[in-house]
Structure 1
């Protein structure tokens, strides 16, 4: 096995573990306000601007079908709404409602505590370097 293969394997396994750890953290943050990690993820994608399901899926690295199912539940619960898409008649935009925005904002105090805890463990500079390295790795994988 080459060094490049070892690095790819180690990066993948570490990322899989990180994904599980972040999902567990996200669930613990979202549950007290009546959300799931998945609901929070989709709402987070449309906080700034409404997006079609396919765009959310691409940004989040999940399937369009999974986003569609989640968006339908969010709309049913009044946390999101579908809007007409001027760029595409059939691909509606998903937009957060005021109720959805309130739910996401309710997570913020506990999220701030957890961010501070992680930053105190890593140190803010190391934390920033880790985020930068993850971002660089993600961009490199996009090029493949």
Structure 2
């Protein structure tokens, strides 16, 4: 028999729902911004991940919560557009890393900057101290 879990208190439930709403809105606006660059949402997310540096395909799949075979197709399409390239991992030549090209970095930067309205509008209602507190709380929640 599975032990009964204590249901979340109403405040915790509301916080979870609000976080879900923010995340949903972010994904909608992210996908909309991606179409402005003729990218799918998944392609834009891969490009955003790679802006922090080259990654193995398996790590990209873990980050996107999808199968590595899906990532292969996404990277293939980004590579055909000259936004991403594959290169050998210097520490293990059997592993291929996906990395942004100069064009990919530029596109990723423009895409990220086009999301400014998402951040500006709701966050503008908060003072700098409130935004700092929100950031710190989110970091704490994520460990």
TM-score by length of 2: 0.74
Greater share of helix residues, 1 or 2? 1
| Superposed CA RMSD | 2.7
Partner of 1:57 in structure 2? 61
Q: Distance in 1 between matches of 2:32 and 2:142?
A: 25
Greater share of strand residues, 1 or 2? 2
Seen in structure 2, the aligned counterparts of structure 1 residues 8 and 83 have a Cα distance that, compared at 3 Å, is farther
Mark the runs of 5 or more structure 2 residues left unpaired by the alignment: none
> Which structure has the larger Rg?
2
- CA displacement at 1:117 relative to structure 2: 2.1
Partner of 2:125 in structure 1? 121
TM-score by length of 1: 0.74
Mark the runs of 5 or more structure 1 residues left unpaired by the alignment: 140-144
Alignment partner of 1:105 is 2:105? no
Q: Distance in 1 between matches of 2:138 and 2:67?
A: 23
Runs of 4+ in 1 over 6 A off after TM superposition: none
Q: Distance in 2 between matches of 1:90 and 1:25?
A: 37
How many residue pairs get aligned? The number is 137
Alignment partner of 1:73 is 2:77? yes
**Cα deviations across residues 36-83 of structure 1 (Å, max 9, x unaligned)?**
33222211211132110222333x352242433322221122210100
